[in-house]
Amino acid sequence: MQHASFDFTDTVVLVTGGGTGIGRAITDAFLDAGATVVITGRRRERLEQALEGRPADRAVAVPADVSDGAAVAALVEQVVERFGRLDVVVPNAAGYESGPLTELSDEAWAALRATNVDGFFHLAKAVLPHLAASGGNLVAVSSVSGDRGDWGQAAYNATKAAISNFVRSLALDWGAEGVRLNAVAPAFTLTELTEGMGRDEESLAPFVDRIALGRPGEPEDVAPAVLFLASDAARYVTGAVLAVDGGTSASTGQPHL
């Protein structure tokens, strides 16, 4: 048996929310590994900034809103038409809400669900037949919050639980077609989405207190795990939700003694 390679040359990768935060780190990692990467998001300028200095033939920005099923289907067809295949898909686009559920408006809940849950649904529905054709795989960005409770994050946690269980169930449905589906589950990670909380030591302390490594995650901590799950090194891994959380999920959540 040859050693598995992390060389993604001649591999076509689609990353949603690829212009910022964890998505941008994943985009950079795949490009550095030789892949052709298409990134999408709602803000064209952020997508273009993320790809500055990258080869135009391997780094492509296509704006789209993942909550729009028709837009997602058109995006996927555009990628396949241009490159002839689709090998790896990373559903990463996400919104975040925190606070008491009774103070969350119906509009905010609908927007959160549309991005986090509907966005995954639209993308998976569009890409799975193409991944079956290429023998490809999907690696979603979920969260440790999808497998546990957190104070003040009921709505967000519910959407991430949906992602984790979409992955587990679809892995069963599509394994016979040669498609692998997995997810990474970060803990609190410093990104544009969480920068407000990241600057507030009092708000951040309860999260950091549960992290064995004693610090919040960074996008660059998550990207290598995505590459592993997308690579041949993980060829017998499917339906897995891999914690990339500094040890958060190893804890009961109780304060330090």
Catalytic residues: 156
Which DSSP symbol is given to 249? G
Contact assessment for residue 159 and residue 112, using Cβ atoms and an 8 Å cutoff: yes
Widest Cα–Cα separation across the chain? 58
Alpha-carbon distances, residue 43 vs 20, 27, 30, 48 (angstroms): 10, 16, 21, 9
The Cα–Cα gap between 167 and 250 comes to 22
Burial 54-66 (b: 16+ CB within 10 A, else e): beeebbbbbbbbb
- Map residue 24 onto helix, strand or coil: helix
